[in-house]
Amino acid sequence: MIERIALIGLSGSGKSAIAPLLADRLGWRPVDTDRMVEERFGLPIPEIFARFGESVFRAAEREALLEATAQRHVVIATGGGIVLDERNWVPLRSGTAVVHLTARIETLAARLRSQWALDAASARPLLAGDLEARLHMLWEQRRALYQRADIVVETDGRTPEELVEVIAAAVHSRAERGLIPFLALASATGRSDLYVQSGLLAALGELARHRWPDARRAFVITDDHVARHWGEPTRRALEAGGFDVSVLRIPPGETSKILTTVEWLLDQLLGHGIERTDIVVALGGGVIGDLAGFVASIVLRGVGLVQVPTSLLAMVDASVGGKTGVDHQLGKNLIGTFYQPHLVVADPTVLETLPEAERRSGWAEVVKHAMIEYSATCQSVVPPLVELLQQRRFEDWWHSTDLDEVIRRNIAIKASVVAQDERESGLRRILNYGHTLGHAIEAASAYQLRHGEAVALGLRAAARIAQQMGLCSEELVPLQDELLDAAGLPRTATLPVEEVLACLRYDKKVAGGMPTWILPVEPGRVVVRRDVPSQLVREVAAALLTAG
Would the annotation count 442 as a binding residue?
no
Cβ partners under 8 Å of residue 440, min gap 6:
500, 501, 503, 504, 507
Would the annotation count 290 as a binding residue?
yes
Q: Output the CA torsion sign for 52, 57, 63, 67.
A: positive
Would the annotation count 311 as a binding residue?
yes
Q: How far from 117 is each of 45, 104, 240, CA to CA, in Å? A: 17, 20, 49
Phi, psi (rounded to 5 degrees) for 371: -80, -15
Q: How far from 499 is each of 242, 442, 444, 453, CA to CA, in Å? A: 51, 11, 6, 17
Q: Are 123 and 48 in contact (CB under 8 A)?
A: no
Would the annotation count 414 as a binding residue?
no
Would the annotation count 491 as a binding residue?
no
The distance of Cα 248 from the centroid of its chain, to the nearest Å, equals 25
Would the annotation count 456 as a binding residue?
no
Would the annotation count 368 as a binding residue?
no
Would the annotation count 13 as a binding residue?
yes
Domains of the chain and any CATH numbers: 4-176 (3.40.50.300), 183-354 (3.40.50.1970), 423-544 (1.20.1090.10)
Would the annotation count 34 as a binding residue?
yes
Residue 548: the pLDDT is 47
User: What is the four-CA torsion angle of 126, 132, 136, 139, rounded to 10 degrees?
Assistant: 60
Would the annotation count 40 as a binding residue?
no
Would the annotation count 242 as a binding residue?
no
Would the annotation count 319 as a binding residue?
no
Would the annotation count 310 as a binding residue?
yes
Phi, psi (rounded to 5 degrees) for 403: -60, -35
The full DSSP string for 31-42 is: EEHHHHHHHHHT
Partners of residue 493 on adjacent β-strands: 545
- Alpha-carbon span 290 to 162, nearest angstrom: 48
Phi, psi (rounded to 5 degrees) for 9: 150, 170
Would the annotation count 288 as a binding residue?
yes
Query: Is the whole-model pTM more than 0.75?
Result: yes
The DSSP symbol for 545 reads B
Tell me the one-letter amino acid at 276: R
Would the annotation count 497 as a binding residue?
no
- What residue ranges of the chain have pLDDT lower than 50? 548
Would the annotation count 12 as a binding residue?
yes
- Secondary structure of 451-493 as H, E, C letters: HHHHHHHHHHHHHHHHHHCCCCCCCHHHHHHHHHHHCCCCCCE
Would the annotation count 172 as a binding residue?
no
- Secondary structure of 164-206 as H, E, C letters: HHHHHHHHHHHHHCCCCCCEEECCCCCCEEEEECCCHHHHHHH
Would the annotation count 80 as a binding residue?
yes
H helix or E strand, kind and range, residue 244 = strand 244-250
Q: Report CA Rg, the chain.
A: 26
Would the annotation count 58 as a binding residue?
yes
Would the annotation count 304 as a binding residue?
no
Would the annotation count 257 as a binding residue?
no
Describe the crossing of helices 402-420 and 356-377 by its angle, rounded to 10 degrees: 50
Q: Are 376 and 426 in contact (CB under 8 A)?
A: no
